[in-house]
Structure 1
Amino acid sequence: MKKYFHAYISGIVQGVGFRYFAYKWAKRLGISGYVRNLRDGRVEVEAEGEEEALKELIKKLEEGPLGAIVERVDVNWGEYGNRFVDFEIR
């Protein structure tokens, strides 16, 4: 079943390759959406795909790349809406 989520990742998540890490996993899992840095130091992810793949991506976001310290991942689930064509770094 396809789903959607919007997440904010807090901690030491900028300047450590977090966006590329999220991009790599999203592409590997067949997920569409985007990842971007926010001015307040968090990283934002919007993603759509199969529910199990999205859950796996969230696990990866909770781990983060080497050098990141993920303190918190806030996830809001929603209905699939075919919002994205591919996954991109913004």
Structure 2
Amino acid sequence: MKKRLRAIYSGRVQGVGFRATVARLARHFPLEGAIWNRRDGRVELVVEGEQSAIAGLLDAIRDTHLAPWIDSVDVLWEEPTNQLRGFSISWEEDLHSGC
């Protein structure tokens, strides 16, 4: 069953290659999604796919060299919208206000 996850990462997650690393990891899973920097210094990730693939991505993120920079992760499970295609890195929070 397809799921949708919104995760907001706090800590020193901007300026350390966080988005690029997550995008590289996400390509190893059958997921659609996007990641972007928020104006408040956090990074937001939205992914859709099977729950096991989403869990695999979250585990992979925790196992990276970036783990020490992550202070917390706020996770929200949502209904999938099926509007995401591929996996994208964005520069602007505003581009994903409807995600």
> Match for residue 85 of structure 1?
85
| TM-score normalised by length of structure 2 | 0.81
Distance in structure 2 (CA, Å) of the matches to 1:86 and 1:52? 18
> Match for residue 24 of structure 1?
24
Equivalences for residues 1-90 of structure 1 within 5 A: 1-66=1-66, 69-90=69-90
Does structure 2 conserve the Cα–Cα contact (< 8 Å) formed by 1:11 and 1:71?
yes
Structure with higher strand content? 1
Report how many residues are paired.
90
Unmatched runs of 5 consecutive residues or more in structure 2:
91-99
Q: Which one-letter code corresponds to 1:23 in the other structure? A: A
Task: Report the CA distance shift for 1:68/1:12 in structure 2 as closer, same or farther (over 3 A).
Answer: farther
Task: Report the CA distance shift for 1:68/1:88 in structure 2 as closer, same or farther (over 3 A).
Answer: farther
What's the CA shift for 1:20?
A: 0.6
Runs of 4+ residues over 6 Å off in structure 1? none
Unmatched runs of 5 consecutive residues or more in structure 1:
none
Distance in structure 2 (CA, Å) of the matches to 1:66 and 1:79? 28
| TM-score normalised by length of structure 1 | 0.88
RMSD: 1.7
Identity across aligned pairs (percent)? 40
